[in-house]
Amino acid sequence: MQNQTAKTLKGKAVAALDAGKLQQALKKAQLGVKKFPKDPDFHAISGFVLTEMEQYKRSIPHFVEASRMKPDDPQFVENLANALMQTGQVFKALEYTEQKLEQFPNNKELNRVLDELYLKGNNWRRIIEYASKKLLNDPDNVEILAKRAKAYEHIGFLDDYSRDITRAYELSPNNEKVAFQRAVNLHRHGDKSGSTAILQKLLAENPEHKPTLLHLSMMTNAEDTPHLLEIVEAAIAKTGHDNADLEFAKGNLISAKDGLAAALPQIARANAIQHDINPFDFAAEEAKLNNITGLFPVGYETPNSGSSETPLPIFVVGQPRSGTTLMEMMLSSAPGIAGCGELTLGADLSLDFEKEGSVFNAENAAEFANEFRRLMPPIADGSTAFVDKMPHNYQRVGFLLAAFPNAKIINMLRDPRDVGLSKWIRLFPAVGMRYASNLEAIAQTANLYRRYMAHWDAVFPGQTLTVPYERLVADPETYSQQVAEFCGIEWNEAMMHPEKNKKQVRTASIDQVRNKISTQAIGGWESVSEHLGPMLDGFDPALWPEYDLG
């Protein structure tokens, strides 16, 4: 009888919620909390109604209680993570969401919450502020240091990131998460042997540590590949669910052992898992293009901040894997040119203007410029220019040139088939790269990139230099001189030797740019074209006149 009464009361609460009668729904849900204190559903309904009423703070105790009573229900976990985020408790939200994703790794809603946390650079700055206050009284707190390091990394403060994660590792070398971050940091600095030593130690202690297995699979030598493949396969067998990290690790090792063609079926499986967790929304991206380009119509005067401050901003844009890292390493090899890596500021500062019906005027452009310079990482005194090589800034060229009329835009153009293959064979967990796990989406976004750039060329004629990757690597001297002239900087022979640049590299080009410039990667798609059909069929030949896509 009690069960039937509870069921009836739940039904009435949910019906009131569906009808938009929130006060009535809340009253019935909270009555249920009192009458049936061991039933987690009434707490969950109360919390959900309160979030609908935007009373997120009041919802949190209900979600905490619901998830305590039913810890294996991911929906309760999702609700609490979202409520923490909405109340500005970003540090707790991030910590809780990442912890629960270890329990529910393929949960789409939890991944959505994590995406939202990651998308806004301001969230990372809140975490830095929170962590810095905590560290004043507890400077050797390893967990807080590691969290602040991660936040610094996301906003491009790489020196601060390295300092914090190095200190955390010194304090606690046996902390698995800290040790892994330190290994990645060493790899990014070019210390492959130091990185491998830490990863091998981690693997000896935990043969199923997924991030370690994935990272080692990208670094291993031919001699160690078969043994590591056995470890990966054993980890897959023991894991009770699909895991993109492990499946990509297996694909990497098959490729190293038997060649790329043999690995592509396994890579397709890994990508299918990744895409199911983070599907690509083409309609949303099409709408975004229309909204952004609508702010900068062809034939109309563009907003102008009037700013001509130095150091000179140089933005390297293009598809990811098109040579943007190589170009940044070439530019930052010249004296006085600061390489800033991939800054999220362009996305952060334009996010509110990317919605339908927005307005972006000269005042907004001036504020954009001021905030960008205020929030960017510190660069060396005396720098004449800085380089931001965020590839997806191709979507934001209008904002960047309105804010920085003196900026230089370098567009890296590369055969989309080679670019697409390079994306397909790597795991890109970043929010903005979810399309890389689907062949049709890879082609769609490539076409979108060309449409963006065609629009910017029409609105800002002569303000972008397009550099064909294939010609750059074949003749680095001529094209580096052309880039230097376009940017108004003095050409230096060091620009032809980016492999000597000691700058930290965070991208998938982490190992390639440590080698001399080479034409080896050109045309690699041809030998495996039978595995790439949906991508090859998806390119619009009219958008790619430089390449024979017919």
What CATH code is carried by the domain that includes residue 62? 1.25.40.10
Q: Which residues contact 312 (CB under 8 A, 6 or more apart)?
A: 384, 385, 386, 406, 407, 408, 487, 488, 489
How many CB atoms are located within 10 Å of the residue 20 CB? 9
pLDDT of residue 504: 58
Q: Beta 337-339 vs 385-388: how paired, if at all?
A: parallel
Helix axes 121-137, 108-119, angle to 10 degrees: 80
Listed in sequence order, the DSSP H helices in 172-299 are 176-188, 192-205, 210-217, 225-238, 244-258, 260-277, 282-294
* Cα dist from 120 to 85, 213, 393, 435, 471, whole Å: 12, 29, 15, 19, 36
Burial of 395 (0-12, 13-18, 19+ CB in 10 A): buried
Residues 145, 187 within the same domain = yes
Residues 368, 292 within the same domain = yes
Q: How many CA atoms lie within 13 A of 371 on its CB side?
A: 18
DSSP bridge pairs for 223: none
As for how many domains the chain has, the answer is: 3
Residues 375, 321 within the same domain = yes
Residues 189, 308 within the same domain = no
pLDDT of residue 545: 96
Q: Which residues contact 116 (CB under 8 A, 6 or more apart)?
A: 85
| 32 within some domain | yes
| 129 within some domain | no
| 344 within some domain | yes
State which of 261, 277, 293 marks the end of a domain.
Answer: 277
Residues 6, 105 within the same domain = yes
Angle at 217 between CA 212 and CA 220, to 5 degrees: 110
Sign of torsion over alpha carbons 90, 92, 98, 103:
negative
Whether a cis peptide bond, with omega within 30° of 0, leads into 311 is: yes
Residues 523, 383 within the same domain = yes
Q: Are 423 and 320 in contact (CB under 8 A)?
A: yes
Burial of 331 (0-12, 13-18, 19+ CB in 10 A): buried
| 548 within some domain | no
Q: Are 363 and 371 in contact (CB under 8 A)?
A: no
State which of 255, 277, 299 marks the end of a domain.
Answer: 277
Q: How many CA atoms lie within 13 A of 340 on its CB side?
A: 32
pLDDT of residue 227: 95
The pLDDT profile of the chain, 550 residues, written as one tens digit per residue, is: 557 888 888 888 888 888 888 899 889 888 988 988 888 889 888 888 888 888 888 888 888 888 888 877 777 777 777 788 778 787 777 777 878 777 777 777 777 777 777 666 577 888 898 889 989 999 999 999 998 999 899 888 989 999 999 999 999 999 999 999 999 999 988 889 999 999 999 999 999 999 999 999 998 888 999 999 999 999 999 987 889 999 999 999 999 999 999 999 999 999 999 888 778 889 999 999 999 999 999 999 999 999 889 999 999 999 999 999 999 999 999 999 999 999 999 999 999 999 888 899 999 999 999 999 999 999 999 999 999 999 999 999 999 999 999 999 999 999 999 999 999 999 987 667 889 999 999 999 999 999 999 999 999 999 999 999 999 999 999 999 999 999 999 999 999 888 786 665 555 445 555 467 777 889 999 999 999 999 999 999 999 999 999 7
pLDDT of residue 321: 92
Q: How many CA atoms lie within 13 A of 462 on its CB side?
A: 1
Burial of 238 (0-12, 13-18, 19+ CB in 10 A): exposed
pLDDT of residue 257: 95
Q: Are 224 and 256 in contact (CB under 8 A)?
A: no
Helix H or strand E segment including 118: helix 108-119
Q: 121: closest CA among 153, 96, 98? A: 153
> What is the model's pTM?
0.84
- Phi, psi of 96, deg, nearest 5: -65, -45
Host domain of residue 193: 139-277
| 134 within some domain | no
Angle at 101 between CA 96 and CA 104, to 5 degrees: 125
| 550 within some domain | no
Residue 78 CA, chain-centre distance (Å), reads: 21
- Phi, psi of 463, deg, nearest 5: -100, 5
* Cα dist from 91 to 80, 112, 149, 214, whole Å: 13, 16, 13, 27
Residues 365, 310 within the same domain = yes
Which tokens sit at 507?
A: 């991208």
Local structure of residue 461 (DSSP, 8 states)? T
pLDDT of residue 503: 60
* Cα dist from 240 to 103, 105, 205, 246, 260, whole Å: 11, 11, 20, 12, 28
Which tokens sit at 316?
A: 């390297």
Residues 15, 146 within the same domain = no
pLDDT of residue 489: 94
CA–CA dist 178, 147 (Å, integer): 10
Local structure of residue 505 (DSSP, 8 states)? -
Rounded-to-10 torsion of CA 327, 331, 332, 334:
150
Q: Could you report how far apart the first and last alpha carbons of the chain are, in Å?
A: 71
pLDDT of residue 339: 93
Q: Which residue has the tokens 């009435």?
A: 12
3-class state of residue 471 by DSSP: helix
| 130 within some domain | no
Q: 360: closest CA among 295, 425, 299, 310? A: 295
State which of 237, 257, 277 marks the end of a domain.
Answer: 277
Residue 474, Ramachandran bin (φ over 0: left; ψ between -120 and 50: alpha; else beta): alpha
- Phi, psi of 317, deg, nearest 5: -120, 170
Residues 475, 329 within the same domain = yes
Residues 149, 189 within the same domain = yes
CATH label of the domain that carries residue 497? 3.40.50.300
Residues 297, 442 within the same domain = yes
Residues 292, 236 within the same domain = no
| 131 within some domain | no
pLDDT of residue 238: 92
Burial of 75 (0-12, 13-18, 19+ CB in 10 A): middle
CA–CA dist 302, 300 (Å, integer): 6
